[in-house]
């Protein structure tokens, strides 16, 4: 049976605050954006339209290839950098800034004389679609914020004393963005003037391109974080009583927010990265619900401040604040509990995961063979990046194909890239789920656990196929075996049943591919 939530300290609860109930949470969840506005289809539309522009435009129309005299299109360089920044991060994390920039991209694509008419129209349509998607997501967040304010009623209060001024680590700093924007401006000024004393025109264009990407993203992050922090600190904000949990979802580094009556913690609403306020401390209560007071209307992209118990025997209030924008969560399928028995338990890659690994490796091999026999023509500098990509993908492909965790009477056996690691039950500490993988910790001086990354599918993909990813099932099973030793298998697994790592063999193959590409391409 699950433990009861860690109770709140009574004196930390403001007067006249309402409980955020499951009925309110379902109304709030129903206001989420439509699927058509999801960042993936909008970003994909921009990528395809941009590829059409580059494909249909004349050679060296926008960017110099270094194979002859060329006059760069500096406006196209700026627009291309903005499109890259939008696709890379903007459409997903910076909807307001993206919605402001995309009309400029659409106007440029429509009226630029170097852009073919058909390709320009396709990019204009894609930019308008992505802009409407961002505006729709912002509108949905505004509706969710208003619903939370309605539920809060008269329960509006100022933040706790220590957080009424903005902490110094609530987000991005502007230094990097200012420097990179200055570099980009310098390149945009000196490049067209033909200043080649330090570098040629092609290098100036590359400097302007990447400086615009890094600088614009960095400054946009900074403005977003300042706005998020200021919205919480400019006066009284809605306050709601909720439940929170550190970890236990798709990322054990995040703090998840639940309705006050969701005592099983099955339907998370929001999650964000949090940090304990300066001068306070809290005993980590991993994967256990805590009663909390939420300052700020919950909505995606907003800021949150949480007040809960510090977990001490003589409990005191503990304040946490967000260090990144909140993200809406979607309920996952219910975790499975293994049944006690003799047969060892095992979790590993499914058929789809292995096919992805095989097809990716096959595509890399086909690219190298095609370049050596058919394509050719790349300079040594151009071949370096594909070679590094081939080497860098070895870890991910090997893990996708051969990861496995086996539980038997002797402990856990985890297949890594190079070896099978054994973690006895008496040395097993905990399993952490974060990012796209999980980590099994082992206690003892000099003891090393196991790290398996790149095996957790994105949440939207799991919901699409309506099945819980095998890596999450592994984490659920390991946690259940840790919590109840009676569930642990009593039989012993054979070495052949624990799986075999393929990382070393795959590294040899990919090193040979990269070397062949560099020497004979």
- The per-residue pLDDT for range 486-503, each reduced to its tens digit, is 889 988 988 888 888 998
- The per-residue pLDDT for range 364-400, each reduced to its tens digit, is 999 888 888 876 666 676 778 888 999 989 988 998 8
| Residue 6 φ then ψ, to 5° | -65, 120
Among 477, 459, 479, 480, residue whose Cα is nearest residue 469: 459
pLDDT of the residue at 104 = 95
Q: Is the pLDDT of residue 162 over 80?
A: no
Q: Is the pLDDT of residue 359 over 70?
A: yes
Q: Which helix (H) or strand (E) holds 413?
A: strand 411-415
Token pair, residue 178, equals 């200012």
Q: Is the pLDDT of residue 333 over 60?
A: no
CA distance 340 to 6: 29
- DSSP state letter for 2: P
**pLDDT: is 131 or 165 the higher one?**
131
Write the Ramachandran bin of 82: left for phi over 0, alpha for psi from -120 to 50, otherwise beta.
alpha
pLDDT of the residue at 266 = 81
Token pair, residue 298, equals 């919950």
Integer Rg of the chain from CA: 26
Q: How confident is the model at residue 210 (pLDDT cuts 50, 70, 90)?
A: very high
Q: How confident is the model at residue 250 (pLDDT cuts 50, 70, 90)?
A: low
pLDDT of the residue at 130 = 96
- The per-residue pLDDT for range 419-461, each reduced to its tens digit, is 899 999 988 888 887 767 888 888 876 677 888 887 776 666 6
Contact 6, 283 (CB under 8 A): no
Q: How many CB atoms lie within 10 A of CB 233?
A: 16
Q: What is the mean pLDDT of residues 247-265?
A: 80
- The per-residue pLDDT for range 264-310, each reduced to its tens digit, is 888 889 988 888 877 666 666 666 788 999 999 999 988 889 988 87
**pLDDT: is 516 or 465 the higher one?**
516
Q: How many CB atoms lie within 10 A of CB 248?
A: 21
Token pair, residue 63, equals 């960017």
Q: How confident is the model at residue 220 (pLDDT cuts 50, 70, 90)?
A: very high
Q: What is the mean pLDDT of residues 58-80?
A: 79
Instruction: Write the CA distances from 359 to 353, 355, 364, 387, 509, integer angstroms.
Output: 10, 6, 9, 18, 15
Helical residues (DSSP H) of 86-237, grouped into ranges? 91-93, 95-111, 117-152, 175-190, 201-233
pLDDT of the residue at 391 = 92
Mean pLDDT of the chain, nearest integer: 85
CA distance 77 to 213: 11
Q: Is the pLDDT of residue 143 over 90?
A: yes
Helical residues (DSSP H) of 199-343, grouped into ranges? 201-233
Q: What is the mean pLDDT of residues 350-376?
A: 86
Q: Which helix (H) or strand (E) holds 29?
A: helix 22-30
pLDDT of the residue at 515 = 92
Q: How confident is the model at residue 68 (pLDDT cuts 50, 70, 90)?
A: low
- The per-residue pLDDT for range 6-41, each reduced to its tens digit, is 888 887 788 889 999 999 999 999 999 998 999 999
| Residue 240 φ then ψ, to 5° | -130, 150
Contact 211, 82 (CB under 8 A): no
Q: Is the pLDDT of residue 118 over 70?
A: yes
Global model pTM greater than 0.85: no
CA distance 382 to 473: 42
| Winning range, highest mean pLDDT, from 77-81, 245-249, 351-355 | 77-81
Helices then strands (H, E): number in the chain? 14, 17
Beta-carbon contacts of 258 under 8 Å, excluding residues fewer than 6 positions away, are 242, 243, 244, 245, 265, 267, 268, 269, 289
């Amino acid at each position: 049976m699950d433990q009861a939530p860690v109770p709140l300290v009574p004196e930390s609860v403001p007067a006249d605050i309402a409980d955020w109930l499951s009925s309110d949470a379902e109304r709030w969840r129903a206001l989420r954006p439509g699927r058509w506005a999801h960042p993936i289809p909008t970003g994909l539309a921009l990528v395809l339209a941009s590829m059409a522009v580059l494909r249909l435009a004349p050679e060296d129309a926008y960017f110099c290839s270094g194979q002859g005299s060329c006059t760069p299109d500096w406006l196209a360089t700026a627009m291309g950098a903005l499109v890259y920044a939008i696709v890379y991060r903007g459409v997903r994390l910076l909807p307001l800034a993206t919605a402001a920039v995309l009309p400029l991209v659409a106007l440029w694509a429509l009226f630029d004389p170097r852009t073919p008419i058909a390709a320009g129209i396709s990019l204009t349509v894609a930019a308008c679609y992505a802009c409407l998607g961002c505006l729709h997501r912002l509108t949905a967040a505004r509706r969710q914020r208003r619903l939370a304010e309605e539920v809060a009623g008269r329960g509006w209060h100022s933040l706790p004393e220590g957080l009424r001024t903005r902490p110094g680590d609530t987000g991005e700093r502007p230094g990097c963005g200012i420097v990179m924007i200055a570099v980009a401006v310098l390149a945009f000024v000196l490049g067209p003037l033909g200043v080649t004393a330090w570098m040629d025109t092609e290098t100036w264009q590359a400097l302007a391109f990447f400086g615009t990407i890094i600088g614009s993203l960095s400054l946009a992050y900074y403005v977003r974080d300042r706005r998020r922090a200021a919205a919480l600190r400019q006066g009284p904000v809605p306050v709601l009583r909720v439940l929170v949990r550190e970890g236990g979802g798709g990322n054990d580094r995040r703090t998840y927010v639940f309705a006050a009556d969701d005592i099983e913690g099955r339907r998370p609403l929001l999650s964000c990265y949090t940090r304990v306020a300066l001068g306070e401390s809290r005993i980590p209560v991993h994967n256990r619900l805590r009663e909390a007071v939420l300052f700020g209307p919950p909505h995606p992209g907003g800021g949150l401040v949480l007040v809960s118990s510090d977990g001490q025997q003589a409990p005191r209030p503990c304040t946490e604040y967000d260090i990144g924008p909140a993200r809406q969560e979607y309920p996952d399928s219910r975790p499975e509990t293994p049944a006690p028995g003799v047969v060892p338990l095992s979790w590993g890659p499914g058929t789809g995961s292995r096919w992805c690994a095989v097809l990716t490796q096959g595509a890399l091999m086909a690219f190298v063979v095609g370049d050596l026999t058919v394509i050719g023509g790349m300079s040594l500098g151009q071949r370096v990046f594909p070679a590094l990509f081939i080497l860098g993908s070895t870890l991910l492909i090997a893990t996708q194909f051969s990861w496995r965790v086996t539980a038997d009477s002797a402990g856990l056996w985890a297949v890594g890239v190079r070896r099978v690691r054994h973690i006895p039950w008496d040395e097993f500490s905990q399993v952490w789920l974060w990012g796209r993988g999980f980590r099994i910790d082992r206690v003892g001086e000099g003891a090393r656990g196991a790290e398996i990354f790149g095996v957790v599918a994105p949440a939207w993909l799991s919901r699409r196929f309506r099945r819980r990813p095998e890596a999450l099932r592994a984490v659920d099973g390991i946690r259940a075996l840790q919590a109840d030793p009676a569930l642990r298998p009593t039989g012993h697994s054979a070495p052949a049943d624990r799986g075999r790592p393929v990382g070393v063999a795959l590294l040899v193959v990919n090193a040979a591919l990269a070397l062949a590409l560099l020497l004979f391409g």
